[in-house]
A and B are shown apart, each in its own frame.
Chain A
Amino acid sequence: MSSMQFGIFTVGDVTQDPTDGTTPTENARIKALVEIAKKTEEVGLDVFASGQQHNPPFVTTSPTTLMAYMAAQTERIVFSTAIAQITTNDPVRLAEDYAVLQHLSDGRVDLMLGRGNSAPVYSWFGQDPTRAVELTVENYQLLRRLWDEDVVDWEGRFRTPLRGFTATPRPLDGVPPMVWHASIRTPEVAELAAYYGDGYFANNIFWPKEHYIRLIDFYRQRYAHYGHGSPEQAVVGLGGQFFIRPNSQDAVREFRPYFDNAPVYGHGPSLEDFSAQTPLTVGSPQEFVEKTLTFADFFGDYQRQLFLVDHAGLPTKIVLEQLDLLGEVLPTLRAEFDARRPATVPDAPTHAARVAAKQAAADAEAEVVTA
């Protein structure tokens, strides 16, 4: 495992392939996600992350069900949400569900939290969309306590109070899943990540880098403010997207219809303009590596890079080919990022490393007591 992690993230959308008009069934799409996760491990990547959405055209309503099935068929990759909704999920259920998944996967699970993709989803789950930020803060504070304390007394504004409650199973090895907070416009989320020393993730897909730089810089400053380390040592993850072929023109020709009809940015700017203005690369593997390396110039050296690959109606076969191509340039990406990275920047967090760190801290404390 190199010091930086690479992986993919999916929102699990069911989208028509604009080149032949076919749309996969929900069943086919869910099964395809499993194939994609297995491929992620096969090509040497480190992370597979799935979204949680509660409206069509998405099939990712139940990330722990999906990822437990995938974890059973893989051995090495880490699973993460991208994102799980901290607003609409009961923090008690989050604590329980992800602890079970953590045990089943032998520590191969992270939890990336976010607010959600649409206003109605709050109402569907009995929450008030105008209180989304307060809900995020309170729910996370409770989740944190449920994992960090064995017995919890708690009272808040958004959930029934708890007396003498223990969330079971207790986290594996006494170390809960690594938490990342994702946001692209809410400073309170960056503050929450900084206060707890958690990771911070910017999806880095749809907008120019300037939109993300501001909040990542803020998170780094606040991480240092709360005494977790220097700003450079804060734990940052980024998204990205690409479509590559050995020949750059082939990539552009093949991806253009998918780009032009993509749910988020289709029928808007040209592929060329959008590529120039956002982190998207459509081109050769070399062009892809060069552009990805610039991320560290803009955001600082960071720990985790996830790519969106299966979207816009791309058939699974092409997605798997893209993962093969990503696997081929992966050693270059790892080597180039490692070469530029100062020794003071921490490695990507893993369960084993976090267990070791906890043990080391406990040993140090014991030594102080005996001395």
Chain B
Amino acid sequence: MTRVVAISAGLSDASSTTLLAERFGEAVRRAEPGASFEVVSLRDLAHDITDATIVGFASPRLQHVIDQVAAADALVVVTPTYKASYPGLFKSFVDALDADLLIGKPVVLGATGGTARHSLVIDHALRPLFAYLQAMVVPTGVFASPHDWGGEGTSALDERVGRAVGELLSLLGGAGTGRTRDDGIDLFSETMLSISDPQL
């Protein structure tokens, strides 16, 4: 069964970011009825995330979410736009992940903002971050401004979400970098070998 986990960095109570995450959920279920879709709200982990930045390890609650992320076949990442970028809490969450946790992981990026003028936040802020993490980010990102939730042309949002989810699920068939995280200990690195044979 395909397991998709959505990380929502929406911070307000009735969050349009979480709303966008749910649109992704519907698209995933439509494309693959057997798939599981879980939404993780970072707001509920705000204290745990801050503590992790200070002590350098995750609380059991935060670790549970990190394990969920690690076990996911694909990730949906949605965040509001704060001061032309993602909120600090979102970055602090990413900071709490091992640097190699998302290597080769299929990811779709989404963002919300108070105005369509922020729509490049996905490509200017989120994409470079996930490039550093070596995730497999699909080409289509989905930005939703207030106008996308009502009025004329709102079906365009669902079309974009559907296209992004199609790209995401297409990566699960075995395409991708072929690389995943490897947290085993390498006994054959140059330094490791030099321990038992100083002449190397």
Contacts and interface: CB of A to CB of B under 8 A. Distances in A.
A137 B192 CA distance: 9
B13 to A, nearest CB: 25
Given A187-B185, A273-B59, A267 B195 contact: no
A264 B55 CA distance: 7
Interface residues of B, number: 17
Nearest to B183: A214
B185 A211 contact: no
7 contacts: A137-B191, A187-B192, A191-B195, A206-B55, A206-B56, A268-B51, A277-B60
A202 interface: no
B55 A265 contact: yes
Interface string A267-288: 1110001100100000000000
Interface of B: 50-51, 54-57, 59-60, 185, 187, 189, 191-192, 194-196, 198
Main secondary structure of the interface of A (DSSP, over half): helix
Contacts, number: 49
A195 interface: yes
Given A137-B191, A188-B192, A269 B51 contact: yes
B51 A207 contact: no
A133 B60 CA distance: 31
A207 B194 contact: no
Q: Which 8 A-B pairs give the minimum distances between C-beta atoms?
A: A268-B54, A269-B51, A187-B185, A268-B51, A207-B57, A265-B55, A141-B198, A268-B55
Q: Which range contains the number of A residues in contact with the other chain? A: 20 to 34
A349 to B, nearest CB: 21
A234 to B, nearest CB: 16
A156 B72 CA distance: 47
B54 A267 contact: yes
Given A218-B185, A268-B50, A137 B55 contact: no
Contacts of B191: 133-134, 137, 188
B59 A195 contact: no
Interface string A30-44: 000000000000000
B195 A137 contact: yes
